[in-house]
Amino acid sequence: MPIFFRVTPAGAGNQVTVSAPKQAQLAWGRVIAAGVLLVVILGAGLYAGTVPTLDAWNKALLHAFEVLLGLFVGVVGGEAGSRA
């Protein structure tokens, strides 16, 4: 854990104050928004699978869902791992 030093001006008695940086908080609003986006992409991909003319869209949307789900789990897991 890095420690940052704050040195006061020379006329203040040469005091050195040590302060640790604040730990970043997980932005729950962004996590929820990302989850909603994943559900929307999954729903659109599943709907496109029911329409025969949208077969290419079905494959593209479901692949996008797979990639984004992996990123989502990786980022949230990385955040949790960095706090342990």
Q: What's the total number of domains in the chain?
A: 1
Q: Read off the pLDDT band of 59 (50, 70, 90).
A: very high
Is 17 inside any structural domain? no
Residue 52 belongs to domain spanning: 25-83
Is 19 inside any structural domain? no
User: Tens digit of pLDDT for each residue in 2-42?
Assistant: 666 565 565 555 555 666 666 667 778 888 998 999 999 99
Element (H, E) at 19: strand 16-19
Residue pair 42/65 in contact (Cβ under 8 Å)? The answer is: yes
Is 37 inside any structural domain? yes
Is 11 inside any structural domain? no
- CA 58 to CA 44: how far, in whole Å? 8
Is 10 inside any structural domain? no
Query: What integer pLDDT is reported at residue 16 of this predicted model?
Result: 59
